[in-house]
Amino acid sequence: MVQSMPDASPAKWHRAHTTWFFEQFLLRPHLRGYRVFEERFAYLFNSYYVAAGPRHARPKRGLLTRPDCDDVVAYRAHVDRAVESLLAEAGDCELPAIVRILEIGLHHEQQHQELLLTDILHAFAGNPIAPVYDAAWELPRAASYANDFVDVPSGIHTVGFVGEGYRFDNEGPAHRVFLQPVRIARALVSNAEWLEFMADSGYATPSLWLSDGWALLESEGWSAPGYWRKLDGDWFSMTLAGLKPVDLRAPVAHVSYYEADAFARWAGKHLPSEEEWEVAARANLLDDAFGLVWQWTRSAYLPYPGYRTQAGALGEYNGKFMVNQMVLRGSSHATPADHARASYRNFFYPPARWQFSGLRLVDYPEVIAHA
C-alpha cells in the first residue's frame, strides 16, 4: 500500500482500480441484476473519471489501509465471475458493445501492469537499503549499438492507426503528414553516451537547457538520470533487481523530457517528432523501437486532426489530457509485448522520470531553403 509520491500509486490500489474499471464501465451498465461488491469502493478506486462520480484524492491513495489485500482479491474474484456470466448470457446484439468495453478494460489493465512495476521501483529506489523486486530481472540487451543515422523517406506519409486490432482513440484519426528530409538514429542513446554528456558538464551548462528544465534541475539537484547513485566513485542505478552498476551498453532510462532535450542540444542533434518516429518505425529503420525504453519525442501531446472524444465517462480516458504533456513512442521492457505498436502514443509531463523513458536522436541534413 506504499505510495512514494503523488504520481505513483500503491500496488493494491492498481489492482483494485483495474477491477473497478470493469465493474463501473462493463458490469453496472450491462449485467442485469449485477450486485456491486462494495458501494464505497467506487469512491476509493475511481482514478480521474469525473462523470463516474466523486473520488479519493490521488496523493492520498497510500492512506488506504483498508480494504486490505484479501478484500481486493475477493473484489477481483467477484468481478471476474460476473464478467464471465455477462459473456455467457449476452445476446448477439449486445455482444459487440460488451466486447468493446471489455477490450478497453484489458488494455487499461495492461497499462497498469507497467505502472505497477514503475511505481514499485520508485518506492524501492527511495529506500536506502535498495530492495530487490526480482533478482532475476535484467534489461533485455539492445539489439544494436549502431551509431549511424539513416534517412527517413521524406514527403507525404500516413500516420496514426490503420487496420485491424485494438487501438486507443488517441491513435486516430489516421492522417497525412509531410516530412522534411530527416535522418534518425538507428540505436537508442546509451548510458555510455549519457556519461559523456555528464562528463562534459551537461548538468551544469544552463545554455543546454529549457528554462523550465533548468529551474527543475536546480530545485531537484539533478546531476544524473533518475535512480543513479555514485558509490566509491562508480555509478550504480536502482533497478527492479536492486542496485546494479550502470551498464554502459544499455540504453539510458529514467530521464525526463528536459534531460532528453538538453542531451539532444549538447549532441548537436534533435529529438524526433512523433510523426518522424512513426514513419521510421513503420519503415523498419529503428533498432529497439520496442521493448527497452519509451522514447521521448519533441511532439506535444495534442489531438490528431479531426479527433473527437467519445461521449460518456470513457471519453475522459485520453482526450482530456491533451495539454502540457509530451509524447513518448515505442514501448519499454515493462510494457506487455502485445500492447506495443507503431501508432501507440504514450504521454507524460516533461519533468517525469520514474517511467522507463529514454530517447533516440534525429538530425536534419540541411535546412530547406524556403521559397
If the CB atoms of residues 47 and 191 are measured against Fe ion, the closer one turns out to be 47
Please report whether residue 237 would count as binding Fe ion according to CB under 5 A: no
Least separation in angstroms between residue 343's CB and Fe ion is: 20
Please report whether residue 47 would count as binding Fe ion according to CB under 5 A: yes
Q: Which region, judged by CB under 5 A, interacts with Fe ion, from 42-50, 130-138, 307-315, 355-363?
A: 42-50
If the CB atoms of residues 47 and 237 are measured against Fe ion, the closer one turns out to be 47
Q: Which region, judged by CB under 5 A, interacts with Fe ion, from 4-12, 44-52, 153-161, 211-219?
A: 44-52
If the CB atoms of residues 111 and 154 are measured against Fe ion, the closer one turns out to be 111
Q: Which region, judged by CB under 5 A, interacts with Fe ion, from 31-39, 40-48, 265-273, 288-296?
A: 40-48
Least separation in angstroms between residue 17's CB and Fe ion is: 6
If the CB atoms of residues 3 and 47 are measured against Fe ion, the closer one turns out to be 47
Q: Which region, judged by CB under 5 A, interacts with Fe ion, from 41-49, 176-184, 299-307, 331-339?
A: 41-49
Least separation in angstroms between residue 83's CB and Fe ion is: 17
Please report whether residue 346 would count as binding Fe ion according to CB under 5 A: no
Least separation in angstroms between residue 47's CB and Fe ion is: 5
Q: How many residues bind Fe ion (CB under 5 A)?
A: 1
Least separation in angstroms between residue 112's CB and Fe ion is: 6
Task: State yes or no: cis peptide before 153, omega within 30 of 0.
Answer: no
If the CB atoms of residues 197 and 347 are measured against Fe ion, the closer one turns out to be 347
If DSSP states are collapsed to H, E and C, what string results for the chain? Answer: CCCCCCCCCCHHHHHHHHHHHHHHHHHHHHCCCCCCCCCCHHHHHCCCCHHHCCCCCHHHHHHCCCCCHHHHHHHHHHHHHHHHHHHHHCCCCCHHHHHHHHHHHHHHHHHHHHHHHHHHHHHHHCCCCCCCCCCCCCCCCCCCCCCCEEEECCEEEEECCCCCCCCCHHHCCCEEEEECCEEEECCCCEHHHHHHHHHCCHHHCHHHCCHHHHHHHHHHCCCCCCCEEEECCEEEEEECCEEEECCCCCECCCCCHHHHHHHHHHCCCECCCHHHHHHHHHCCCCCCCCCECEEEEEEECCCCCCCCCCCCHHHHCCHHHCCCCEEEECCECCCCHHHCCCCCCEEECCCCCCCCEECCCEECCCCCCCC
Helices 257-266 & 211-220 angle (0-180, nearest 10): 110
Least separation in angstroms between residue 235's CB and Fe ion is: 34
Least separation in angstroms between residue 48's CB and Fe ion is: 8
Q: Are strands 155-159 and 357-358 parallel, antiparallel or unpaired?
A: unpaired
If the CB atoms of residues 201 and 310 are measured against Fe ion, the closer one turns out to be 310
If the CB atoms of residues 17 and 298 are measured against Fe ion, the closer one turns out to be 17
| Bridge partners of residue 245, in order along the sequence | 236
Q: Which region, judged by CB under 5 A, interacts with Fe ion, from 46-54, 64-72, 153-161, 294-302?
A: 46-54
If the CB atoms of residues 47 and 346 are measured against Fe ion, the closer one turns out to be 47
**Nearest in space to 297 (alpha carbons), one of 264, 271, 269:** 271
If the CB atoms of residues 60 and 249 are measured against Fe ion, the closer one turns out to be 60
Which residues lie near Fe ion (CB under 5 A)?
47
